[in-house]
Amino acid sequence: MENPQSPDLTLAGLVHDLNNVFETISEAAELLAEDDRWAKLAATIRRSVDRGRGIAGSLAEQSRASQELEPVVERIELFVQDSLTLIKHAPVKIRRRIESGTLIPGQASDWERVFMNLLLNAAQAMPDGGAVEVEAWRESKMLHIAVMDNGPGIPTTILKDIFKARFSTRSKHSGMGLHIVATMVQKYGGKVTAANREDTPGARFLINLPDSE
């Protein structure tokens, strides 16, 4: 009797084979690029390969029910630091306290959007620099993730509105960042709240999710 492959294994194999094809095409593009006559064509091929790899990566990502939290935060931390350096923002230290192997449900790309918005929001609240802490812990079958800064905190008059679409206290911002955070968290059955820290100046965003482990 045949043992049918699971959909995940079939998809993983397809993505693996596609990446091998992309690698061959990429190598061919590199050879073309050595001749000035074909440089533009080679660049077009490389862009198409990058796009194809991105699509294949998205397919692989969708096949997984959960992701490791720390690598997601680490990738976004690097992006945020690059962005702050580019705009010559004062240094912001980002500290992670996440147990290795901590899992979050769903797609990594969704959570990258969540932490990109939270970390950038924290940095923007500290124009003179500061520190951001990302902490995760499990309790009562829930996963809790806190993002805390040591900036001036959130005016109590706007706490109830900051997750609303297009709400912003800065004229040059769309006001969608924190709304995206709330939407992504709700997508996975969770909730995000905002408050001012009790022990020190600063803001604290707390994500509560059903534990996926």
* CA 134 from centre of chain: 13
Contact predicate 149/109, CB 8 Å = no
Q: Specify the pTM.
A: 0.69
- Show me where the domains of the chain are located: 7-62, 66-210
CATH architecture of 66-210: 2-Layer Sandwich (3.30)
Quick one: how far is CA 41 from the chain centroid? 33
| Diameter of the chain measured on Cα atoms | 68
pLDDT tens sequence for the chain (213 residues)? 444 444 444 666 777 778 888 889 999 999 999 999 999 899 989 888 888 887 777 666 665 678 899 999 999 998 899 889 888 999 999 999 998 889 999 888 889 999 999 999 999 999 999 999 999 999 888 999 999 999 999 999 999 889 987 666 564 555 678 999 999 999 999 999 999 999 899 999 999 998 766
Distance CA 92, CA 48 (A): 36
- The residue whose two tokens read 């600063």 is 202
